[in-house]
Every structure is written in C-alpha cells, then in structure tokens.
Structure 1
Amino acid sequence: MTEDKSRSDQSRRIVFTGASGGIGTMTRPLLARLYPGLVLSDRVEPKDLQPGETFVKADLTRPDEVAAAVKGAHSVIHLGGHSVEGGWDQILNANIIGCYNLFEEARKAGVKRVIFASSNHAVGFYPRRCKIGTDVTVRPDSRYGVSKAFGEALGALYADKHGLIVTCLRIGNVGPRPLDARRLSIWISPEDIVQLFRIGLEHPDIRYDILYGVSDNAASWWDNSRARQLGYRPAGKAEDHRAHAEAEQAKIGPDPVGDLFQGGTFTSAEFTNDVKRAGP
C-alpha cells in the first residue's frame, strides 16, 4: 500500500483541516503516531496541541489564509467546514466556497493528494432496505448533503483536470461506539477511519475514488468493496455494541420519515413531501 520509502512518512507535510472538530480530535493522536509533524488548521486552535504539531489558523472562506495553511504541503486531509445541517448562507460559505478555496489553493501549492470528508448525507434519501455502492446517483438529504455532493464533484474535477489524487470518504458516524439503531449500520471507529486516511495518503493506485467511511458492520447499507480492494480491513464491529445502541434508540422514539431512509433525521427535518414520492 505504501509508496517508495525514499519518500518516507516523516518527509511529508500533511495538513489536517478541521483539526479542532469532533473527528479531528478523535483521530489526531492516532495520526500523529503515523505521521509526525502534522500541520493542523482550523479557525480555533486545538486545546491540546502536542509537541511536533504545528497550528495554522485559517478561515476556509479566506483564500489567503487557506493558501498559507497548505503552503508546502504534500497532502491535505480536509475535514474542515460546517459539520451538520445549517442555513443556506452558512453551508454556502463554509462547505461550498470553503471547499472550492481548499482545492484551488491546494492545486496552486502543488499538493499531491487530498482526502475530502464527504458524508453519508450525500446519499441520505436512499431507503434503508437498499444496499448501495459508491456509483449510485447522489440523493442528498439536506443542504449539508448537497454541499458534500458538491465536494465529491469538485474533487473529481481537480483529479481529472489537474491531476490531484483525490479520495472522498462518505463518512457514516465516527465515535467509540454506535449511539442508536441507525448507527449500527453507519458507525466507524476512529481507528478504522485512520486506516482509510492512510489509504488516501499512500495508496499508489488511487486517482479519484469514493469510499464509505464505515466499520465492519453486519447491518451496513453500503457496499464498500472498493475500499477493500485498496487494502481496507476494518476492525470495528457495530454488533459488539448492539445492546447499547438499542437501549439508546428506545429513548429516542419513532420518526415516521427518518426511520425509512438512510439519512435519518436529516431526511425528516423540514420534510413536506409524501414519503412514497421521496427517494429512488
């Protein structure tokens, strides 16, 4: 999976946007052991900056600040942006304009690889009864989901037109264990998502790929065979946490719309359609 050792991990400058967010906080300690000297970027400095880590403050809506963050980088793990549903202006600025700025400044800086944190919400209106691959038509469940579909398309453009090596991860839900019944299908452990980061950073056969960010879950709705072709061997299993997830689900109660679709409450929020006319 790894590239030639003459370009060792330590020689790379890896920029990690969204470093102060939830996924960033969970995965940074694991990444730091593999890639010393991470360059962290966010609007707010992480509270636990470690020796060897460098922080570069950057607002994704400001191209000059993004340029400063990616200067001299070999690779970027792009987790930055607004991480849940929001109003249009908020999503537009953080996740669409900000995503464009990241790819464009990365191109101009000569960055070789970008890992884009997409989301299951880019395909959230697929019914839970369906098992889908990465080649399906996007069916976003929210403005947030639309922004992730945009990021995937933008990544394809920069891969084909400019030669960036781009890996889009349709992330389910990252955490120590699944929090409810839906997450039994979409959960991914921090250790497993770091394994996917490594594939995106190192695998020689990637030009542009979409992979699902999901652990080895028996109830998974996603065909992640491409990730496995690239060497992904998830260790986490949501079934190990089923009792906890079901107990938490009992506290939530039913959602007549969200329970039908993979995107859950993102599909039911602001929903005005007939469920029979929603989804493919």
Structure 2
Amino acid sequence: MRSERYKDKKPRKKKWKIFVLILFLLFFATIGYSYFQYKQGVLQSKDKTGVANQEFEFHGNKGKNGETNILLLGIDKRGERTSRSDTIMIAQYHPDKDSYKLVSIMRDTYVDIPGHGKNKINAAFAFGGPELVRQTIKENFGIDLQYYSIVDFEGFVHLIDEAFPKGVEIDVEKAMSENIGVTLQPGLQRLDGEHLLGYVRFRHDAVGDFGRVERQQKVITEVASQFKSIQTIAKLPKLVGVMTPFVNTNMDATDILYIGKDFISQNNVNIDTLRIPIDGSYSNQRVNGAGSVLAIDLEKNKQAIHEFLAN
C-alpha cells in the first residue's frame, strides 16, 4: 500500500513542478516583452524633443484616504519655463473604490499664488513650475497632489496616432478652424492626432474657454473609452515609450502602467468630470495687470471639489 501511494504522489509532484516552471517562464516572457515594447516606443521618439529633459522640484503628498491625485498640465510652447500652462487638471485614481475622476480648473481662474499675489492660476507654472501650481491648488482648494505630469501637446498628437491609427471617433458639434491650424467640419468622424488637438484647443466662439474645457473632458473620456475597445494592454508599454520625450513627470513608468492597465482591464468604468469654477460661482472681471479673469466664490468651489472627489 505504501509503495502505491508513493507512486501516486510522484507524478503529481512532477506535474506541479512543470506548472510552476511554465508560470515562471510566462512571467519573465511578459516582463521581457513589455520592456522590449517600451524601448521600441522610446526609439520611435528618440529624435523628438519635448519637456522630458527639464528638471522640476515637486513636494507632493499622497491623499489622506488612499487616493492618488495627479496634477496634469498641458503646455504648448515646447516646455519653456516661461510658458503658462494651457490646461490644468487634477486626475484622481482610487484603487479601493475603482474610481477615476477628473477636475478641470479653468486657466483664467483668479486665485492667490503663494509669493506672487493674486493672478490667473495658469501664471503659477510660469512663476515656479509644477511645484508652485501644487502650492497654489493646495492653498486655494485644500487638495494634496502626489504626482505631476506636464504634457507637451506634440506628444498628445504622437500618442493618438500611435494608439489609434484609424483616428479617434468624435462627434464634432460645429465647424472649427480659427487659430487651431486645421479645419474641422461638423459631424461624427475619426480624427487623427493633429485634428483632435485642434478640436480640443478651439475656443473662438460664444462660449470661449468654457467650451474648450468641455471638449477637453469629452476627448479624454472618449479616448479612454475607445482604449477599452481595442486590445491596448499589450500596447501600453510601447505607448509609454512613445510619450517619454513629451511628458515630464515624477511618476515611475511602472506606476503609469499599473494605473493604465487597471483602468483598461475593468469593465463599465467611467471617468467622472468636474469643471472649476462651477456654475453660479463666478463672474467675469477685468483686473489691471491680469486682464480678463474669472473671479470665483472660493469657498463654494472648494466645497464642490471636496464633495466631488470624496463621493
């Protein structure tokens, strides 16, 4: 009887070793493939120059409830330190709640900039880089930001063209051409990177910058949704590599891949959006030295951000 039990265990033990070996090989094959794809993306963009070669200080802090808050800044002057940030957003990822949120702060919002008095919030980047933007958001809205990402708009074009060779499907609501470098006609269509950038930058109509911010949020949610409709997880390492010259961030590539993979691999996950200032909380004013600004009810908008991110 003992010899029969011994014979039964031996094949099982051998099968278990083979199974572990296969898992081991698959794991390292995946790591190797990801690294190869990442390097391919870097090589593809190696002759491009963007914001990645600049060094910025950033003393960010993790959210108090386990959330990760990321400062997203879009710039359109190839990253010169004197440029103002054209786009200011707070992206929040909460792994415990599987929630993804996006707050857009309009660039003409009139706030206190530490050490520089009151000015438009987009001036903070020109005065002191992402660290001063972080301090400004913390002082005015009470939000801790752990990471920052400065995105050169040229990188946005390359990302879209690499991820969506056939373009991103967008319903363009009206004809657009003024000061965006391209001409867009209304209707549902697929836009390449250059035309999609023109779409999100257009603001020469009755709603001005409010429409531009709305289109930015629309495009981000649409791109995120269409990422899910293609098998993008395998493509993520290369996309990160392609974007490397155009993104200046204190996030590790592994952090970016983890958050991106987590989002793409889940079903029925939406990105909730908020615009600051909220409706009924601001007025248009002209200020000497700053021009046309959005004078906001600070407490009302601060409460709106906290409730939005907490819920």
TM-score of the superposition, structure 1-length normalised? 0.25
Task: Give 1 or 2 for the bigger CA radius of gyration.
Answer: 2
Q: Which has the higher contact order (CA 8 A, sep 6+)?
A: 2
TM-score of the superposition, structure 2-length normalised? 0.23
